[in-house]
């Protein structure tokens, strides 16, 4: 196929012959981009750096206007918040038929955990600890999104977070560096595949670079400040993993880092990202990230835009600061033509990589859109993934699994809440078509059992908080009766049942962006409901909806069975039934610590020791590191999760007790299914470096394997540990391992482990 780019005067005609079937070589793409840059006006170059929101959804301060006219003038590089082949095709047509240089647009979207077939929120998905499965979710999401015109997703979100107050903890993979990095790579592979120019792969965008998950006090958008050691050894690693996996773009975060907003932080965007890590793609700001630097106190729009570009930002989401001010800054000598050209080149390169110059409509196939989205197959897959994300937190006296018989009372504000099932950041979802718990249970039991339902309580005692927590069409239809009246009705119903399933917790919008909380209990009105349900004397199963760790101290003490289902996606109702009735044996393990009290935050397993640690078995000692009022322990530690069967660990052994610098050690453990059902167990390997040039965490995850075991079956699980696995950024920030003693721990969670020791020579 041949595309002609012509200047208005017809002085220069550039013919770009493109081979549609193979990816073009870097040098041929470079030549094409050189030719294009030669004929582009300054305005057109700045246009490529401009990413307005098409306005179907909005999160930030401003809406862009006159988008169509701007596209025709070549003042838009890409669009987002636009859905459907028809809408996207219309916009692409404006770019490639009406604009002077016919440069195609990128079409972005927050395809975060699935497209229309929605998977569990990322925090839930990470609890599957199944990297292949997670990669496949991204693959399916890319398949569906690309069938609907999208060629770029603002995912994966890899912000490490250890603060449950921060609502966006739901969008990431939890608190762990190693697991988070493995997931980051898998997501990039899933979205981008082996060939970005294929019509069913899309460009990934790792976000929010950097450290966004460490926002002070868990308050969204807040500054982050931490040592470079902590950055290099912990918070930066998942972004680096995505870069190593070849991610095509990076999103700068809203927060400031060391006092410089990430959007204009040269150290982050150029020195680390490009020079140290070798990233060659483009960097986009977050939504109005450029203009928000005015409120950060970093200058007026012209100043912050020039600073951002000079720091290494290439594309401006929504603010239009780069578009409208850079030519003036150029005149004033605040930046160079080369800097603008470099940014423009990176955007053009991305479009070449996606194959958009070959065929700008390659993602706009009505046929694919009608056949490949929300398919029976994808929904079945989403159902099985959801079940694998659930974490069984408690199961006293094997209350679960339930029998498909008798009368089951399903009570709670989240029991019949279709629009809440997909959780936060599911912009493409068909909200009303999600399977609710009520539907799922009814389908599962058929005529074998009776399911009776009552709401039991509102989401929150405070109507204003409930309104904030049910935005974006996700109302829980607040009941205006008194809390007592709503509860009494439910208790009457529950009394006639054999068992009670309480679907309570957070609504979808209680986590996610701008949804920080200082109280991370289940809202009081729902806890009152739980108390009243317990008083009926019937067995109570808590089906917990949440986008973050909650403080479940009371629930853990009082409720016999707790199944944490996060927000499992469009098919979650069926998946919840699958697990409640034992058709699927739960195997999820927490990737984030559940604290006893919000005052313990940040609470995470890979913490450093103090000089005054508690003595073994103690929870309070004067002049030791602890609190007067609660122990340092979590309610549920990282890595924790039960099954309907039980596993026993024994025979931890190392093939040698000394590791040479270029050698390795094989660690083996015997894992036995000691229960009566087949089940999957995530076997976890942790290491402690006992002495370092900088202090080292008390435990760090270094490997895991998910094994399926039949009742009575034993398996020897092996891990190979080499020097690179125990390397870190040392006191002088060089990377490598330090000789000395190491403890090795293996177990089914980060707390209950077997221990051995070796020495690195
Ligand atoms: C969020 C990003 C998102 C962007 C575009 C922002 O508010 O922070 O995660 O990708 O909006 O929708």
Q: Which atom of ligand 1 is closest in space to residue 171's alpha carbon?
A: 9
CB within 8 Å of 448: residues ≥ 6 apart: 404, 405
Residues paired with residue 541 on neighbouring β-strands, in sequence order: 501, 561
Q: How confident is the model at residue 242 (pLDDT cuts 50, 70, 90)?
A: very high
Which residue's CA is the nearest one to ligand 1's atom 5?
A: 287
CA 43 – CA 324 distance, rounded (Å): 9
Question: How many domains, the chain?
Answer: 2
Peptide bond before residue 682 is cis, with ω within 30 degrees of 0: no
How many angstroms separate the alpha carbon of residue 638 from the centre of ligand 1?
28
How many angstroms separate the alpha carbon of residue 509 from the centre of ligand 1?
15
Q: Is residue 550 part of a domain?
A: yes
Q: Is residue 704 part of a domain?
A: yes
CATH number of the domain where residue 733 is located: 2.60.40.10
Q: Which atom of ligand 1 is closest in space to residue 154's alpha carbon?
A: 10
Of 600, 615, 635, the domain-final residue: 600
Q: How confident is the model at residue 705 (pLDDT cuts 50, 70, 90)?
A: very high
Predicted structure pTM score: 0.96
Q: Is residue 251 part of a domain?
A: no
Count CB neighbours of 601 within 10 A: 19
Classify residue 714 by its DSSP letter. Answer: E
Do 543 and 662 belong together in one domain? no
Tell which one of 111, 286, 290, 514 to mutate to probe ligand 1, the residue whose CB is within 8 A of the most ligand atoms.
Answer: 286
Of 565, 600, 635, the domain-final residue: 600
Lowest mean pLDDT among 17-31, 262-276, 446-460, 596-610: 17-31
Q: Is residue 240 part of a domain?
A: no
Mean pLDDT of the residues in the chain: 95
How many angstroms separate the alpha carbon of residue 463 from the centre of ligand 1?
27
Residue-by-residue DSSP string for 429-490:
--GGGSPPHHHHHHHHHTTSEEEEEE--S-S-SSHHHHHHTTTTT-------S-HHHHHHHH
pLDDT at 181 over 90: yes
Which residue's CA is the nearest one to ligand 1's atom 8?
A: 286
Do 547 and 693 belong together in one domain? no
Q: Which of 335, 330, 256, 269 is nearest to 298 (CA)?
A: 256
How many angstroms separate the alpha carbon of residue 316 from the centre of ligand 1?
12
Q: Which of 163, 286, 416, 578 is catalytic?
A: 286
Q: How confident is the model at residue 237 (pLDDT cuts 50, 70, 90)?
A: very high
Lowest mean pLDDT among 18-27, 479-488, 584-593: 18-27
CATH number of the domain where residue 507 is located: 3.40.50.1700
Q: How confident is the model at residue 661 (pLDDT cuts 50, 70, 90)?
A: confident
Q: Is residue 636 part of a domain?
A: no
pLDDT at 659 over 50: yes
Q: Which atom of ligand 1 is closest in space to residue 253's alpha carbon?
A: 8
CA 178 – CA 726 distance, rounded (Å): 12
Which residue's CA is the nearest one to ligand 1's atom 10?
A: 154
Q: What is the pLDDT of residue 65?
A: 57
pLDDT at 16 over 60: no
Pairing type for strands 664-673 and 714-722 reads antiparallel
**What is the average pLDDT across 674-689?**
98
Q: How confident is the model at residue 7 (pLDDT cuts 50, 70, 90)?
A: very low
Q: What is the pLDDT of residue 5?
A: 40
Do 720 and 583 belong together in one domain? no
**What is the average pLDDT across 282-295?**
98
Residues paired with residue 394 on neighbouring β-strands, in sequence order: 562
Q: Is residue 710 part of a domain?
A: yes
Classify residue 212 by its DSSP letter. Answer: G
What residues are in contact with ligand 1 under a 6 Å CB criterion? 59-60, 110, 154, 207, 286-287, 513
How many angstroms separate the alpha carbon of residue 405 from the centre of ligand 1?
46
Q: Which atom of ligand 1 is closest in space to residue 207's alpha carbon?
A: 9
Q: What is the pLDDT of residue 60?
A: 43
Which residue's CA is the nearest one to ligand 1's atom 6?
A: 287
Compute φ and ψ for 410, nearest 5 degrees. -105, 115
Q: What is the pLDDT of residue 657?
A: 96
Do 651 and 579 belong together in one domain? no
Do 666 and 589 belong together in one domain? no
Q: What is the pLDDT of residue 447?
A: 98
Q: Which atom of ligand 1 is closest in space to residue 57's alpha carbon?
A: 12
Tell which one of 56, 59, 215, 471 to mutate to probe ligand 1, the residue whose CB is within 8 A of the most ligand atoms.
Answer: 59
Domain that holds residue 705: 647-760
Tell which one of 213, 513, 515 to mutate to probe ligand 1, the residue whose CB is within 8 A of the most ligand atoms.
Answer: 513
Q: What is the pLDDT of residue 66?
A: 84
Q: What is the pLDDT of residue 56?
A: 54
Residue-by-residue DSSP string for 88-133:
HHHHHHIIIIISSS-PPPEEEE---SBSSSB---HHHHHTT--HHH
CA 145 – CA 682 distance, rounded (Å): 31
Q: Is residue 430 part of a domain?
A: yes
pLDDT at 47 over 60: yes
How many angstroms separate the alpha carbon of residue 577 from the centre of ligand 1?
33
How many angstroms separate the alpha carbon of residue 53 from the centre of ligand 1?
11
How many angstroms separate the alpha carbon of residue 282 from the centre of ligand 1?
16
CA separation, residue 291 to residues 53, 100, 298, 299, 474 (Å) = 15, 29, 10, 9, 30
Do 453 and 593 belong together in one domain? yes
Adjacency order of strands within the sheet including 78-80? 78-80, 106-109, 152-153
Do 580 and 709 belong together in one domain? no
**What is the average pLDDT across 146-161?**
98
Q: How confident is the model at residue 10 (pLDDT cuts 50, 70, 90)?
A: very low
pLDDT at 457 over 60: yes
Do 437 and 544 belong together in one domain? yes
Q: Is residue 260 part of a domain?
A: no
Q: What is the pLDDT of residue 64?
A: 55
3-state secondary structure of 173: coil
Do 565 and 674 belong together in one domain? no
Which residue's CA is the nearest one to ligand 1's atom 4?
A: 287
Q: What is the pLDDT of residue 145?
A: 98
286 is catalytic: yes
pLDDT, one tens digit per residue, over 569-608 is 999 999 999 999 999 999 999 999 999 999 999 999 999 9
Please, are residues 112 and 425 in contact by the beta-carbon 8 Å criterion? yes
CA 548 – CA 479 distance, rounded (Å): 25
Do 461 and 541 belong together in one domain? yes
Tell which one of 61, 110, 111 to mutate to probe ligand 1, the residue whose CB is within 8 A of the most ligand atoms.
Answer: 110
Q: What is the pLDDT of residue 322?
A: 98
Which residue's CA is the nearest one to ligand 1's atom 11?
A: 287
Which residue's CA is the nearest one to ligand 1's atom 2?
A: 286
Do 672 and 527 belong together in one domain? no
Rounded to 5°, angle at Cα 480 from 476 and 482: 115
**What is the average pLDDT across 77-90?**
94
**What is the average pLDDT across 436-447?**
98
Which residue bears the tokens 């912009």?
Answer: 427
Per-residue HEC secondary structure of 275-342 comes to HHCCCCCEEECCCCCCCHHHHHCCCCHHHHHHHHHHHCCCEEECCCHHHHHHHHHHHCCCCCHHHHHH
Number of residues that this document lists for the chain: 761
Q: Which of 46, 1, 653 is nearest to 306 (CA)?
A: 46
Q: Which letter, b or e, does each residue of 667-693 get, where b requires 16 or more Cβ atoms within 10 Å of its Cβ?
A: bebebbbebeeebbbbbbbbbbbeeee
Do 572 and 677 belong together in one domain? no
Q: What is the pLDDT of residue 24?
A: 62
**What is the average pLDDT across 512-524?**
98
How many angstroms separate the alpha carbon of residue 472 from the centre of ligand 1?
15
Compute φ and ψ for 711, nearest 5 degrees. -55, 130
**What is the average pLDDT across 685-711?**
98
Give burial (CB, 10 Å; 0-12/13-18/19+) of 3.
Answer: middle
3-state secondary structure of 754: strand
């Amino acid at each position: 196929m041949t595309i002609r780019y012509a200047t208005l005067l017809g002085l220069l005609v550039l013919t770009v012959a493109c081979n549609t079937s193979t990816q073009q070589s870097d040098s041929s793409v470079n030549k094409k981009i050189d030719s294009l840059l030669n004929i582009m006006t300054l305005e057109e170059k700045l246009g490529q750096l401009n990413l307005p929101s098409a306005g179907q959804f909005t999160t930030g301060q401003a809406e862009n206007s006159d988008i169509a006219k701007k596209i025709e003038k070549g003042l838009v590089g890409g669009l987002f918040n636009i859905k459907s082949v028809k809408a996207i095709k219309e916009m692409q047509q404006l770019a490639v038929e009406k604009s002077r240089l016919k440069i195609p647009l990128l079409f972005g979207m927050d395809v975060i955990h699935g497209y229309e077939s929605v998977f569990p929120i990322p925090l839930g998905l990470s609890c599957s600890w199944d990297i292949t499965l997670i990669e496949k979710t991204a693959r399916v999401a890319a398949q569906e999104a690309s069938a609907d015109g999208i060629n770029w997703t603002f995912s994966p979100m890899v912000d490490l977070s250890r603060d449950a107050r921060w609502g966006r903890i739901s969008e990431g993979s939890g608190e762990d560096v190693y697991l988070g990095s493995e997931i980051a790579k898998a997501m990039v592979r899933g979205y981008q595949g082996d060939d970005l120019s294929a019509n069913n792969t899309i460009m990934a965008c790792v976000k929010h670079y950097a450290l966004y998950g460490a926002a002070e006090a868990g308050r969204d958008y807040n500054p982050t400040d931490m040592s470079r050691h902590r950055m290099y050894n912990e918070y930066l690693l998942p972004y680096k993993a995505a870069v190593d996996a070849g991610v095509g773009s990076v999103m700068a975060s809203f927060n400031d880092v060391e006092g410089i907003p990430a959007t204009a932080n040269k150290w982050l965007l150029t020195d680390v990202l490009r020079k140290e890590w070798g990233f060659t793609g483009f960097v986009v700001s977050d939504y109005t990230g450029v203009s928000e630097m005015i409120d950060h106190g970093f200058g007026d729009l012209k100043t912050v835009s020039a600073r951002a570009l000079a720091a290494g930002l290439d594309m401006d989401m929504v603010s239009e600061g780069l578009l409208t001010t850079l030519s003036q800054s150029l005149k004033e000598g605040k930046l160079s033509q080369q800097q603008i050209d470099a940014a423009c080149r990176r955007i053009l390169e991305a479009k070449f990589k996606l194959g958009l110059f070959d065929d700008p409509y390659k993602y706009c196939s009505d046929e694919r859109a009608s056949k490949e989205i929300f398919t029976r197959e994808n929904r079945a897959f989403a159902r099985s993934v959801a079940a694998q994300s659930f974490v069984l937190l408690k199961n006293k006296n094997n209350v679960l699994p339930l029998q498909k018989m008798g009368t089951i009372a399903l009570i709670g504000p989240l029991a019949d809440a279709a629009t809440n099932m997909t959780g936060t950041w599911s912009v493409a979802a068909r909200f009303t078509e999600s399977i609710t718990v009520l539907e799922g249970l009814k389908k599962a039991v058929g005529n074998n059992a009776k399911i009776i339902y009552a709401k039991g309580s509102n989401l929150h005692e405070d109507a204003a908080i409930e309104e904030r927590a049910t935005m974006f069409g996700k109302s829980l239809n607040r009941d205006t009766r008194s809390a007592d009246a709503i509860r009494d009705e439910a208790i009457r119903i529950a009394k006639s049942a054999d068992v009670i399933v309480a679907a309570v917790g957070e609504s979808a919008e209680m986590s996610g962006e701008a949804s920080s909380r200082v109280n991370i209990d289940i809202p009081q009105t729902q806890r009152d409901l739980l108390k009243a349900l317990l008083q009926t004397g019937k067995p109570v199963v808590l089906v917990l909806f949440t986008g973050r760790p909650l403080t479940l101290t009371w629930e853990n003490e009082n409720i016999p069975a707790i199944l944490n289902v996060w927000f499992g996606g469009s098919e979650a109702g069926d998946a919840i039934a699958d697990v409640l009735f034992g058709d699927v044996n739960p195997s999820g393990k927490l990737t984030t610590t559940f604290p006893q009290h919000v005052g313990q935050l940040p609470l995470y397993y890979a913490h450093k020791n103090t000089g005054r640690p508690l003595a073994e078995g103690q929870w309070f000692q004067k002049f030791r590191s602890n609190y007067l009022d609660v122990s340092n322990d979590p309610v549920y530690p990282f890595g924790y999760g039960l099954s309907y069967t039980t596993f026993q660990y024994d025979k931890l052994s190392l093939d040698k007790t000394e590791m040479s610098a270029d050698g390795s050690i094989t660690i083996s453990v015997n894992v036995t299914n000691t229960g009566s059902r087949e089940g999957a167990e995530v076997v976890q390997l942790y290491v402690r470096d006992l002495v370092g040039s900088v202090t080292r965490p008390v435990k760090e995850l270094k490997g895991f394997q998910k094994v399926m075991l039949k009742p009575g079956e034993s398996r020897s699980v092996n891990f190979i540990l080499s020097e690179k696995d125990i390397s870190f950024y040392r006191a002088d920030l060089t990377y490598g391992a330090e000789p000395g003693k190491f403890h090795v721990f293996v177990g089914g969670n980060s707390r209950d482990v077997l221990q051995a020791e070796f020495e690195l020579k």
